[in-house]
């Protein structure tokens, strides 16, 4: 799948592109919730704008370690060379937790785009034992590494849309 955009200024095009992919990640999160999993979705976008793979959360199968982002990163690392992944973007409905940021880093993915921050997610989930968030944002995880990972997010204009998928879940 490729997302096409009308002519616009480069920054506007990037924002519209990110927004379109984030909405797709939110749709994947809704599908994940509908199949009995946690409401998270992620996708890998290639250098030419193609969606190469996607995943929802797989909590029902693996009880917590199958986060959408980690699922995509694991599959991407198995399928693609690190030099290619350095030019790819992981797009995710919610900021990658430290486990998922680590998976992205070790897979070699060059850019992360997320909609809702981990802190906002923590406000929604509270002390739910199925999602005890760590107060460690992905930028901190990437800053501790030896190779750069670009990060864009959160996107406040999509916050309500993404949060709706989490309401009455936790």
Q: For the chain, what's the residue count?
A: 170
H-assigned helices in the chain? 10-34, 59-62, 68-79, 82-85, 98-107, 118-125, 138-143, 159-164
| DSSP count for the chain of H helices, then E strands | 8, 5
Nearest residue to 116 (alpha-carbon basis) of 162, 71, 72, 150 = 162
Catalytic residue of the set 12, 27, 69, 95: 69
Is 69 known to be catalytic? yes
The residue with tokens 């909609």 is 115
Residues with catalytic roles: 69
């Amino acid at each position: 799948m490729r997302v096409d955009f009308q002519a616009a200024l480069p920054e506007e095009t990037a924002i519209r592109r990110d927004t379109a992919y984030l909405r797709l990640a939110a749709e994947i999160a809704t599908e994940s919730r509908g199949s009995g999993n946690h409401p998270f979705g992620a996708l890998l976008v290639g250098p030419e704008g193609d969606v190469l793979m996607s995943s929802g959360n797989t909590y029902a199968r693996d009880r917590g370690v199958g986060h959408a982002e980690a699922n995509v990163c694991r599959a991407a690392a198995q399928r693609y060379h690190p030099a290619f992944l350095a030019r790819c973007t992981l797009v995710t409905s919610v900021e990658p937790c430290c486990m998922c940021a680590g998976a992205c880093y070790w897979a070699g993915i060059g850019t992360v785009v997320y909609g809702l921050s981990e802190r906002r997610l923590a406000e929604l989930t509270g002390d739910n034992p199925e999602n005890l968030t760590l107060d460690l944002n992905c930028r901190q995880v990437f800053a501790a590494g030896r190779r750069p990972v670009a990060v864009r997010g959160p996107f406040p204009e999509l916050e309500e849309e993404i949060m709706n998928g989490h309401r009455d879940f936790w």
